A and B are shown apart, each in its own frame.
Chain A
């Protein structure tokens, strides 16, 4: 922490402690909400797997699509968002000094806004008034309180993001001309992405769905609302993956006893994510009428560009591994691999996540491949895909992070027993996912639809074959789901133990010193106005003409359909 310590001297009065206890508490509350949502979410997943496999029948008061909605909202939105902000608050406090009382108050306000929104949405799902899945495609219509809840959720995260950015820019003001600490730089890039992307979902929810659900407007422009949703929906996945990359870039090098390969390249990767992860939403709408082939192809190109920062990341991370392994005496082409701390869950869990990102990323390229998308669009393949990306790469990285972040903020220690439990959790999760996601991928290639309850389509032979395969079967999916649930329950136990029962003590915040090349960071990388400007230009380029066309040449709108979901 050479650099930030310089800054810390004139910025905070408590540079010795790991992080300010008050900031620790803020982070802990976020992480706790995340894990309780996680517990409910995975139990929903278990029920879905068993019900779809035809192994259990859901009770009449519980709908398949109701739990599917809960599973998606709790895991994809609530778990990820809360754990990400928990990580951000703790990391900003560590690298930029404690939050001021005013900013911390703002962070608590954001927490309450987000949480009230979560409770409102969850209540509507429980009441079976919002079984519209987490994508809430119009003209299926949920109760208006569901939309208000989602709005508060998003607005709350914006306030949290503003808190973190204010803290970051305060540091920059106090340290003029210096490259900012990597953690703050990366967190800021992630939050700018989140805010710019959130404008899309805010526009459709506030401008289209809420007035329509409240009865102020009679009709809704369906294609426009889908387009605005996916303008948000794809950057959403980068909002998950960028914090995971932050763990890889900033935490893992320290855990393995090395240092990050290059700071400038890390910054460049995050700038590229900010630029290219938004104007790509059409690759979720490739099979849709009303958008021309030309604009779909333009966004396909931009989608492929956003692979580049992931290529940069893969190189940086594995270069860091090799560099560290060799410094520790590893020789030959691959023997440096043996020098890595395989028995340390803080490394092992994220490492398995990285490994799985290789097939996951390749699958993503297939999905985005324009006309090829017809083979897998809305099949179980897609579900298999994102259970690898967010459901394994991101989740295992956050699991690994939990083993130091939770004891750090609760003033406890990671014990050997907990470490071993974490390794077991990682293996179980990986094995369960191999069965579940593997079977989903193949079933998808055979045409099995996603988001569909148990059905044999009146015993059509093709649909029956989806239950009869040796590996490619809904039964394998359910089996994988059972193993994953066991892993998830174990992880929840790990969380409870680390939060309230582990022995008291000091835990290290493993964070790599900013790399040697930091003083030579090109100043242009720190020019946020420039990057936001280019991002806006790219968005306007990719979206203006098709959205104008959707509005001006819109077909008559759709009335409400809220009877179909109950």
Chain B
């Protein structure tokens, strides 16, 4: 099988770019810890009241770090609003009590799938005050487009 000289150059350039891209992604992930949300914890979606999600809401972990345990459901989130001061880092732990949802804060990198039986996690530091919209971007039924909650970041 004959490879033309130009084709060799083209493939070396092309495959070289792919290797470079993968290296950037790999270093960012495994050296700097920028991993996609892949939490492995499990819960019984039908009996969330017997789990850590029995009382969803905000817990303060230290001065400017909070943990928000949130339950996604058709068609909303529990709690429907949380409030943190500006500069806070919030660790979101989210699960679903029924079908597949997402937990997405447009304009940030918080965007993860919420599958029943699993807990997914993301972390975000709110450096700007304002009212952040959280929405579901995985189709979850006839009221999917009404599913939302708010994060109030107070100055």
Contact = CB atoms under 8 A, between A and B. Distances in A.
Contacts of B29: 293, 297, 370-371
A557 to B, nearest CB: 7
Contact of B25 (A370, A460, A555): A370
A223 B117 contact: yes
A365 interface: yes
Contacts of A289: 37-41, 112-115, 118-121
A452 B144 contact: yes
A374 interface: yes
B115 A453 contact: no
Nearest to B120: A289
Interface stretch (B53-61, B84-92, B132-140): B132-140
B118 A378 contact: no
A458 B29 CA distance: 37
A65 B1 contact: no
A297 B38 CA distance: 11
A369 B113 contact: no
B148 A458 contact: yes
Given A460-B133, A558-B117, A293 B38 contact: yes
Determine the interface band of chain A, counting residues with CB < 8 A from chain B.
Answer: 35 or more
Interface residues of B, number: 69
Nearest to A295: B38
Contacts of A453: 144-145
A499 interface: no
A481 B102 CA distance: 27
Given A268-B1, A555-B42, A558-B45, A463 B145 contact: no
A378 B113 CA distance: 9
Nearest to A292: B38
Contacts of A287: 36-37, 102, 111-113, 120
A372 B25 contact: yes
B145 A454 contact: yes
B111 A374 contact: yes
Nearest to B143: A564
Nearest to B121: A289
Contacts of A374: 36-37, 109-112
| Max chain A Cβ within 10 angstroms of own Cβ: one of B3, B26, B136, B141 | B141
A68 B142 CA distance: 12
Interface in A6-43: none
A556 B46 contact: yes
Given A290-B40, A371-B25, A556-B117, A446 B1 contact: no
A107 interface: no
Given A371-B25, A553-B42, A378 B102 contact: yes
Given A452-B145, A458-B148, 11 more contacts: A139-B98, A265-B1, A287-B111, A292-B40, A293-B35, A447-B107, A448-B106, A457-B135, A522-B1, A554-B42, A565-B141
A520 B131 CA distance: 67
A301 interface: yes
Interface of B: 1-4, 6-7, 10-11, 14-15, 18, 21-22, 25-26, 28-30, 34-47, 74, 98-100, 102, 104-107, 109-121, 131, 133, 135-146, 148
A312 B11 contact: yes
Given A222-B116, A288-B120, A307-B18, A517 B2 contact: yes
A455 interface: yes
A564 B107 contact: no
Contacts of B115: 222-223, 226, 288-290
Given A222-B116, A223-B115, A564-B142, A315 B137 contact: no
Interface string A509-543: 00000000100111000000000000000000000
A377 B42 contact: no
Contacts of B7: 265, 312, 315, 319
A262 interface: yes
Contacts of B148: 457-458, 460
A133 interface: yes
The 3 closest A-B pairs by CB, nearest first: A447-B106, A564-B141, A555-B117
A504 interface: no
Contacts of A139: 98-100, 116
B146 A446 contact: no
A559 B99 CA distance: 9
A300 interface: yes
A285 B113 contact: yes
Contacts of B137: 377-379, 449-452
A373 interface: yes
B44 A304 contact: no
Interface in A264-306: 264-265, 268, 285-293, 296-297, 300-301, 304-305
Nearest to A524: B1
A300 B22 contact: yes
A520 B45 CA distance: 60
